[in-house]
Structure 1
Amino acid sequence: MVDNGNSPKPTSLTMDLLGDFDRTGGREIRLKALVALGEELDISGPVMRVTLARLRERGWFDVRREGRESIYRFTPTALQALDEGRRKIFREPLAPWDGEWSMVIYTVPESDRQTRDELRKKLSWLGFGPLAPATWVCPHPRLDEIANAAATLPNARLALLTTRTTGLPADRAMAAQCWELEEIAADYATFVRWLRTRLDEYRSPALDAGTALAERVRLVNTYRHAVQRDPQLPAELQPPGWTGDEAHRLFVRAHDALAAAATPYAEAAVPQ
């Protein structure tokens, strides 16, 4: 992990483990397999059981019994969250920007802080930034996505618009206002420096399967924290020296390098 003074929480690592390796979402996963995979990440059996119980309370799993074994399957809620995460992490190349902004103006009762916080999290995750406290913008056509995300928040009222500024200088000024681009760039630069020191190790044929699995999950976890604030700006709006694209290329290269050992190991532990 990038040394930021904090170790990833078991829940965070478990979500990245599940999201990175169970891409079909259709398989059932035995508890003993999840515990075994968690041990590769230094998550003890008791901690993994508590973590899975908490994720189940959040609606991530349906659980059935087979004899004395517990068998887990993702719920639609979990599959949607994992799909959203994968799209942001393993992003596709952006289409040429047409100069249009998606704009969301919302109202939430002053007393409902939970809804307001949840809506802001959804907006941020989808690449929106705050132009004003209740007005958020995004340089991508994502109004349908935020409408679907906000459908679970009945106290939120949204006005959804597509708009343009007076031109590219105004666009760049708005991007600089809506996102902490210098901080995001610094996160990416730290990630790039850290990852460059690890690539040779990831490519080594001597890397054992369990270590490869653990390193791949930690790689995803580290990159996810670097990318989660990134609105994935079009090239026209990126500040000079932007390192986000380089970070993504290195991440994909490292992720692929670990696949030869890590993927078969996980597939054997969690068979189709």
Structure 2
Amino acid sequence: MRPRAIVFDLYGEYFRYAGGAVRLGPLTELMGLFDVEPATVRVVMTRLRKDGWFDSDKSGREVTYRLNEKSWHLLDDGRRRIFDRAFDDWNRVWTQALLDGDGIDRDQRKRIETALTWFGFGNYAGAVWFSPHDNRKQLSEMLGGGDQLCVQFLQSSTAGLTVDRIIAERCWDLTDLGVDYQGFIDTYQPRMARYRRGMAGRDALIERMRLIQDYRRYPFRDPDLPEELLPPGWRGRLAHEVFVEAHELLREPAEDLVVSTIGVGLDDRDM
């Protein structure tokens, strides 16, 4: 696990519920559980602050790093994408995003295409992207400014489910993702009995962080296609159920360790 990713997961899972701030000392102690050296923690946090992800306060020799608007937004978007999976019935309406390629440079195109993929759009061909979900508002908020003006949205329905399936097959290759989902299930489902018996705080925290980092890669590759567009034997929903249950089973011992380390209680939350 990379130090930068561990930092964001500690803030996203724990520190955000303790006011969004933590002192460098307790942060370093928790990072040490993942074999991250104190010097590395200092360098990572300094760089993240310079990059605008955190604000910092200093009292004596102690530095506190706190979430700012940029990092709160990142954590909120990431959490919604991981936990708020779209498993509802589909009304067979596609949202199309048309990318105006005239006058935009490579970096701007990459930024826009990354945002489209983040919100579950798949590339049909060239400048045409499709999503079975209406994420226009969220996408526009992420793009903002000049990037937003380069994307036009349409909503449409096809002649029937056969055409819908052709669009889905053209936009997304779910074969590799399905294999990876099965690998996740094979890894974590056998561990559930041990999670239910309870684990020591240190072990639970490390296991929960590994669980999050292993699962997080999937929602950003998975467009959450409606049931009628999924390939036979799709394992994505079972993988999500395994993740959510394991995440909750490990929560209490992991949180107890974090609270005892930072000396601040955590607010109530949904997940």
TM-score over 0.5 (shorter chain): yes
Give the alignment of 1:171-250 within 5 angstroms. Answer: 171-205=164-198, 207-250=199-242
For residue 226 of structure 1, report the CA deviation from its aligned partner: 2.5
Residue aligned with 1:140, SS:
coil
1:254 is the counterpart of 2:242: no
Q: Which deviations, in whole Å up to 9, do the C-alpha atoms of 1:127-180 show, x marking residues without a partner? A: 111112221111111011111111055486111111112211111111111111
2:26 — aligned with what? 33
Any conservation in 2 of the 1:191–1:247 contact (CA below 8 Å)?
A: yes
Residue aligned with 1:59, SS:
coil
Q: 2:82 aligns with which of 85, 89, 99?
A: 89
Aligned length: 264
1:142 is the counterpart of 2:135: yes
1:158 — aligned with what? 151
Q: Whole-Å Cα distance in 2 between the matches of residues 221 and 177 of structure 1?
A: 29
Residue aligned with 2:250, SS:
helix
2:52 — aligned with what? 59
Matching residue's letter, 1:95: D
Any conservation in 2 of the 1:35–1:45 contact (CA below 8 Å)?
A: yes
Tell me which moved more, 106-115 or 240-249.
Answer: 106-115
Tell me which moved more, 242-251 or 171-180.
Answer: 171-180
For residue 266 of structure 1, report the CA deviation from its aligned partner: 1.5
For residue 19 of structure 1, report the CA deviation from its aligned partner: 1.2
- Taking only aligned residues, the RMSD between alpha carbons, in angstroms, comes to 1.9
Tell me which moved more, 185-194 or 100-109.
Answer: 100-109
What TM-score does the superposition give when structure 2 sets the normalisation length?
0.91
Percent sequence identity over matched residues? 34
Any conservation in 1 of the 2:98–2:153 contact (CA below 8 Å)?
A: yes
Q: Which deviations, in whole Å up to 9, do the C-alpha atoms of 1:56-99 show, x marking residues without a partner? A: 23321111111111111111111111111111111255332111
Any conservation in 2 of the 1:219–1:255 contact (CA below 8 Å)?
A: yes
Q: Whole-Å Cα distance in 2 between the matches of residues 133 and 54 of structure 1?
A: 37
What TM-score does the superposition give when structure 1 sets the normalisation length?
0.90
Q: Whole-Å Cα distance in 2 between the matches of residues 247 and 42 of structure 1?
A: 29
Any conservation in 2 of the 1:25–1:74 contact (CA below 8 Å)?
A: no
Any conservation in 2 of the 1:108–1:155 contact (CA below 8 Å)?
A: no
1:268 — aligned with what? 260
1:70 — aligned with what? 63
Matching residue's letter, 1:221: Q
1:118 — aligned with what? 111
Ranges in structure 1 where 5+ consecutive residues have no aligned partner: 1-7
Q: Whole-Å Cα distance in 1 between the matches of residues 250 and 149 of structure 2?
A: 43
Any conservation in 2 of the 1:38–1:48 contact (CA below 8 Å)?
A: yes
Q: Whole-Å Cα distance in 1 between the matches of residues 6 and 239 of structure 2?
A: 20
Tell me which moved more, 70-79 or 92-101.
Answer: 92-101
Q: Which deviations, in whole Å up to 9, do the C-alpha atoms of 1:20-57 show, x marking residues without a partner? A: 22344733211112111111122221222222222223
Any conservation in 2 of the 1:127–1:232 contact (CA below 8 Å)?
A: yes
Any conservation in 1 of the 2:120–2:223 contact (CA below 8 Å)?
A: yes
Cα 1:170–1:36 shift into 2, 3 Å: same
Q: Whole-Å Cα distance in 1 between the matches of residues 80 and 18 of structure 2?
A: 15
Q: Whole-Å Cα distance in 2 between the matches of residues 237 and 65 of structure 1?
A: 54
Q: Whole-Å Cα distance in 2 between the matches of residues 188 and 252 of structure 1?
A: 14
Tell me which moved more, 62-71 or 45-54.
Answer: 45-54
Ranges in structure 2 where 5+ consecutive residues have no aligned partner: 266-271
Cα 1:26–1:160 shift into 2, 3 Å: farther
